[in-house]
Copies of this chain bind each other. A is one copy, B any other.
């Protein structure tokens, strides 16, 4: 395409009244993809060089305001959109970040992603979404793919990889922030919730209601958040002089289905728990179903606490007492941290946000009389609403996790 006529012929034609280009009007909407106008097209139309167009469009003071206005008008009329990919190539910054989550269908991840997207968008960044399906290998692949896309930074939530990030981070040379999962080293930047505090506050709340036989339904073991929440549960028990019973601490997978069977197992125990502290709201939702499935009632027979305060928590029956995690804010914080990293600061390290206990209707005072509940099937008449149970509709918060040293 040696179209180096220098504007001579082009000028004549244009003067003759041929409108700016050939494609839009009517003729060939179905042929070639009718190339988007490039900066050179605009330059030709405005009778300037393309660097001038470039400068005009980024409001550079180097260009005459009058010509800048003219150029902008022409660009606008031509529907010109500068190519972010070409700009990214020369600038070596794509104004793009990668976000890898287990799955956006998970409400927790969705909330975090929402916060991240908003913060990114505020700064003119776009975000690539990648699902890891909670698989370590897949997660690694995703991070690699994002690096190929030359993202300026990466956020990964609920990582399943952990320490492998150190070499990867060194090789990829891309700023990274981890959400809700920390590698117990000092070199990775992360933002997470005060898991231990939150879990402890929930358990203490149950203890204050008189419960002594308190179960814990966790996530798969081995993950950092799971470990911390279990630890908070244990500490609360210890502080109250209640021994930890291994039979009362069971594992689900963070989803309601598994929680149903896990909870059902607890209810089949010879001496079943009167309260259960769940890893998260999804688990609690499953636990409540299992409890109802045995003809028992929440909280009269078994109290339940969750973790996260997902949108549905206050709409469950009874409304769920849970530990609030400000997920959207966490996403925003993660994004802001990443911005700092990308701009060269290296100070962020690890951020921990506080948790807040929200007391609702799913927790109540333990039954004063142990009752004749030798078997799973209890008498349906035992549905006395013991005093001390908060109204099932209140949503006022109470208590708060404190900063963990």
Contact = CB atoms under 8 A, between A and B. Distances in A.
Interface in A306-363: 311-312, 315-317, 328, 346
A220 interface: no
B117 A104 contact: yes
Given A150-B84, A173-B36, A315-B289, A121 B130 contact: yes
Given A104-B117, A114-B103, A149 B256 contact: no
Contact of A126 (B29, B117, B130): B130
B126 A114 contact: no
A128 B131 contact: no
Interface stretch (A75-83, A176-184, A197-205, A246-254): A75-83
Contacts of A312: 285, 312
Nearest to A113: B104
Count of chain copies: 2
Given A289-B315, A315-B285, A317-B317, A148 B328 contact: no
A256 B293 CA distance: 26
B328 A105 contact: yes
A296 to B, nearest CB: 13
Interface string A1-39: 000000000000000000000001000011001101000
A107 B111 CA distance: 10
A209 interface: no
A131 B121 contact: yes
A404 interface: no
B88 A85 contact: yes
Given A85-B150, A89-B85, A317 B315 contact: no
Given A114-B131, A128-B129, A82 B173 contact: no
Interface string A66-106: 00000000000001011111101100001010010001111
Given A85-B88, A126-B130, A289-B315, 15 more contacts: A24-B170, A79-B171, A82-B148, A83-B148, A85-B85, A85-B89, A85-B149, A105-B107, A109-B110, A114-B131, A121-B130, A256-B315, A285-B315, A288-B317, A315-B316
Interface of A: 24, 29-30, 33-34, 36, 79, 81-86, 88-89, 94, 96, 99, 103-107, 109-111, 113-114, 117-118, 121, 126-131, 144-150, 170-171, 173, 256, 285-286, 288-289, 292-293, 311-312, 315-317, 328, 346, 393
